[in-house]
Amino acid sequence: MFEFLEGIVTPEQKKELDNHVEECRHCCDRFEFEQLFKEKLVAVASQDKAPEKLVKRVGKLLKELF
The ranges assigned to domains in the chain are: 2-65
Nearest residue to 30 (alpha-carbon basis) of 42, 17, 13, 43: 17
Would you say the pTM of this structure is higher than 0.85?
Answer: no
Residues 6-61: tens digit of each pLDDT: 888 999 999 999 999 999 999 999 999 999 999 998 888 887 788 899 999 999 99
Nearest residue to 1 (alpha-carbon basis) of 12, 17, 15, 16: 17
Cα 35 from Cα 49, distance rounded (Å): 24
Cα 62 from Cα 15, distance rounded (Å): 44
Q: Which residues of 26-37 are buried (b: 16+ CB within 10 A; e: fewer)?
A: eeeeebeeeeee
